[in-house]
Amino acid sequence: MKKVFLFAVFLIAAVSMYAQTGAVIDFKDKSHDFGTIAEENGSVTCEFIFTNKGDAPLVISRVSASCGCTTPDWTKEPIAPGKTGFIKATYNAKGRPGQFVKQITVYSNAKDGNVTLTIKGNVTPKTASIGESYPYSIGDLKLKNINLPFYDVSNKGMKTDKIGIYNSGKSPLSVHFSRVPSHLVVTANPAVLNAGAQGEIVITYKGNAIKDWGARTDDVFLLLNNESRIANDRKISVSANIVEDFATLTPEQRAQAARIEVSSQNVDFGKIVSGEKSSQTVTIKNTGKSTLHIHKLSCEAGYLQAKIDRMSIAPGKIAKLNITLLPGKLRSGLNERISIISNDPARSNVIIRVSGTR
């Protein structure tokens, strides 16, 4: 009986010894909350402390972060049993306002395998300086933008928008405008901007005062104080897409409207021979109950010509759109668009894609 007891004790000790062989990584904490961080403070760092609770040296082979905004550091030398090491995590808050949760994975020879640590926090955005708020300069006049998109503008309506301005100089600035198109109204508020003061340029786009359709861009030139020089580096670009106003149409009027139907929205010239002029024709049919009016054909490529034999198409009738590729002007493959703008309330802008290879 005594021998059996001694054998059992020996067996338990042996199993325990075998079970304990190896490194064991034990972290005091596996997550850290930075709380609220100010973006202007830049990077923040926390440290995770661990202990090797095994009976063999612990070796950290590598540590990786879930994104490039987090930089890890760690104890590089082997950690003896009973000793401690560290994993550092540095989070770069600059340019990253808002809440974040990031993971750091620790790879080692520990028996339990890889360990995932977590950092989190909330970055409050920094207050932009006046210089940062007005990144564009025309002399001492700083502007928040030099491009003002109005997007869709009805041919029967108007839209108004603003651009913030700031006088960064030491003297008052009188702001004037030149070469303003008749469909734009442009004013500075105030007209004289004191040193260090902020104001705005107010632009009204009169869609009912322009005889055009589709996308267009107009330039307005700025003049400061008594200057008269017109220059491309002193202008604001105003863009818009002029569309027909179908909002007031009743269901009955829509049912009686014109309908555009094209024989193909993809025209392929195939293999293009240099210096050889070629043409293709697309048929446009009015399947509606009112006259189809083609407001505008638009093609920006200088080596393509788009001509239609009639701009008004009676119900049930057709028109022919001739697309010509001009010789000698194409330097690479062909990939262009032709826009057909009409009074069809369901399809007011039809795009034909034109392609070909060299």
Render pLDDT for 159-173 as a digit per residue (tens, 0 to 9): 999 999 999 999 999
**Confidence at residue 312, expressed as pLDDT on a 0 to 100 scale:** 97
Segment among 3-7, 31-35, 222-226 with least mean pLDDT = 3-7
Segment among 179-183, 225-229, 266-270 with least mean pLDDT = 225-229
Query: Residue range 100-116: average pLDDT?
Result: 93
- Give tens-digit pLDDT for 271-283: 887 777 889 999 9
- Give tens-digit pLDDT for 268-323: 988 887 777 889 999 999 999 999 999 999 988 888 899 999 999 999 999 999 99
Q: Band of the pLDDT at 358, cuts 50, 70, 90?
A: confident
**Confidence at residue 13, expressed as pLDDT on a 0 to 100 scale:** 46
Query: Residue range 318-333: average pLDDT?
Result: 83
Token pair, residue 116, equals 């995932």
What span, in angstroms and rounded, lies between the C-alpha atoms of 59 and 96? 34
> Quick one: what percent of the chain has pLDDT higher than 90?
76
Name the pairing type of β-strands 60-65 and 136-138: unpaired
**Confidence at residue 20, expressed as pLDDT on a 0 to 100 scale:** 59
CB 69 within 8 A of CB 91: yes
Query: Residue range 26-54: average pLDDT?
Result: 94
Mean pLDDT of the chain, nearest integer: 90
Token pair, residue 145, equals 């933008």
Q: Band of the pLDDT at 8, cuts 50, 70, 90?
A: very low
Q: Is the pLDDT of residue 15 over 80?
A: no
What span, in angstroms and rounded, lies between the C-alpha atoms of 200 and 186? 11
Q: Band of the pLDDT at 6, cuts 50, 70, 90?
A: very low
The candidate with the shortest Cα–Cα distance to 232, out of 302, 315, 138, 151, is 138
Instruction: Tell me the whole-structure pTM to 2 decimals.
Output: 0.64
Segment among 104-108, 128-132, 160-164, 205-209 with least mean pLDDT = 128-132
- Give tens-digit pLDDT for 233-266: 899 999 999 999 998 999 999 999 999 999 999 9
328: left (phi over 0), alpha (psi -120 to 50) or beta: left
Which value, to the nearest 10 degrees, does the dihedral of the CA atoms of residues 38, 40, 42, 46 take?
-20
Q: Is the pLDDT of residue 17 over 50?
A: no
Segment among 10-19, 113-122, 132-141, 237-246 with least mean pLDDT = 10-19
What span, in angstroms and rounded, lies between the C-alpha atoms of 240 and 217? 7
**Confidence at residue 301, expressed as pLDDT on a 0 to 100 scale:** 84
Q: Band of the pLDDT at 152, cuts 50, 70, 90?
A: very high
Q: Is the pLDDT of residue 203 over 60?
A: yes
**Confidence at residue 16, expressed as pLDDT on a 0 to 100 scale:** 46
**Confidence at residue 21, expressed as pLDDT on a 0 to 100 scale:** 78
Which residue type sits at 324?
T
